Structure 1
Amino acid sequence: MENEPLIDDALKSELAALYRAADRHYHGLAHIEAMLALAAEYRRLLHDPEAVEAAIWFHDAIYDSRAKDNEAKSADLAEKKLAGRVDPPRLARIAAMINATATHQLPPSRDENALNDAALLLDMDLAILGAEPAVFDAYEKAVRLEYGWVEEPMWRAGRAAVLKSFLARPHIFYTSGFRQRFETRARTNLQRSLAALEG
């Protein structure tokens, strides 16, 4: 059981189909592939790289911009699809990482290794915030398209609140490596975006 990949080709195809849905402008396959590339780059820092990869594959599997429980439903899907492939404690860690992407707060755990992996997963998920300005702007436009049903004044207020919540944190990124690489540019991008929303 341990030697088989957690996410085999059949499961990849099944999940990729979800990420290819027409309403996925940002939360699609390109986002998953970008996170998987970061996971490969930082693999030596991960305690359980396969579990992190599984969490990446599942974390936005269920995505409805009108819903508030996407992450919980994505974690449920992971538990259903991975049952029998992975032991229960490991599956619980995968589900906890997926659920953590709802608030981008570390999951409650005393396990240092699990917390380390969750921190890296959350940082990978937010790496887009520290992208080059043009890439960040494309991301912002794509997220706006996913919320196309929200009227502009409501969008501006809601999105501004989200950006302010990130800017209010002592650090946007949990790990030193991601802070050094992305923190400064992420704050610049967020402040620029916030100014445009409130302008």
Structure 2
Amino acid sequence: MHPSIRLELAKRWSEPHREHHGADHLAEVVRAVDLLAALGLTFDVETVRTAAWFHDAIYDVHRADNVERSAALAQRWLAPGTGDRVAEIVMATRDHVAPPGDLEAAVLCDADLSVLGSDPERYDRYARAIRAENLHVPDSEYRRLRSRVLARYQARPHFFATRPARALWETCARSNITRELRSLGRPVAV
């Protein structure tokens, strides 16, 4: 990626309204991508790193099309073939479900969700940061919406698409989400 693009993206990732979706999150995602590569997954690491830089490049809590806009930004800013491929990978983060056979998209989704499988203290900071990004939402509505999102993850057979990610983060992610759902007042399926 050209240094001028990286600089422009770094400015976006440093916007003051980003409590979770900021530079620290980007760094965690890139580290998770590199960790999955180090554990033996064979994928286009540079393309996934580039997709990580673009995946939340546009982040406005008042809009529902951030992923699409971030993917379109990759298409505009990167060379045609690269931009299209990065956009495809970024689009998988909308629901964190990679298309069948798309290992690069699976790795980015897993890396993006890796915070779910972090230690409880880090997870709690993440949950507080998500709430801080959404202070405009009344508490009862936030609890309802956040519970719905977490329950969708909880209902999945696996949070993570790749075996190494499951081995690293699945157990903690289940525990963290169960704990947060309880704190939100939502009944938890066991």
TM over 0.5: yes
Asked if residue 180 in structure 1 is aligned to residue 174 in structure 2, the reply is no
Q: Is the 8 A contact 1:46 1:117 kept in 2?
A: no
CA distance in 1, matches of 2:36, 2:2: 21
Counterpart AA for 1:193: E
Partner secondary structure for residue 16 of structure 2: coil
Match of 1:57, as an amino acid?
W
Pairwise CA RMSD:
1.3
* CA–CA distance in structure 2, aligned partners of residues 181 and 41 of structure 1: 10
Contact 1:133–1:189 (8 Å) recurs in 2 = yes
Task: Specify the alignment match of 1:134 in structure 2.
Answer: 121
The amino acid of 2:48's aligned partner reads V
**1:82 has 2:78 as partner:** yes
Structure 1 residue ranges without an equivalent (≥5): 1-6
2:146 is matched with: 159
| TM alignment of 1:22-41, pairs within 5 A | 22-41=16-35
Residue 10 of structure 2: aligned partner? 16
- Corresponding letter in the other structure for 1:120: V
The one-letter amino acid of 1:49's match is: V
Q: TM-score, normalised by structure 2?
A: 0.92
Consecutive unaligned residues in structure 2, runs of 5 or more: none
Distance 1:185 1:38 in 2: 15
Aligned residues: 184
Aligned pairs for 1:23-102 within 5 A: 23-43=17-37, 44-83=40-79, 87-88=80-81, 90-102=82-94
CA distance in 1, matches of 2:184, 2:35: 34
**Residue 148 of structure 1 aligns to a residue in which SS?**
coil
Q: Distance in 2 between matches of 1:40 and 1:132?
A: 19
> Which deviates further from its counterpart, 33-42 or 119-128?
33-42
Give the deviation of 1:71 after TM superposition. 0.3
What displacement does 1:54 show?
0.9
Deviation per residue, 1:45-92 (Å, 9 max, x gap):
242111101100000000011111000000000000003xxx52x432
Asked if 1:192 is matched to 2:179, the reply is: yes
Equivalent residue for 2:95? 103
* Shift >3 Å, 4+ stretches: none
C-alpha separation in 2, matches of 1:10 and 1:46: 29
Aligned-pair identity (%): 37
1:111-130 Cα offsets, whole Å, 9 max, x none, are x4xx1111111000000000
Instruction: Give distance in 2, aligned partners of 1:46 and 1:64.
Output: 33
How far apart are residue 36 of structure 1 and its match?
1.1
Query: Structure 2 counterpart of 1:77, which letter?
Result: L
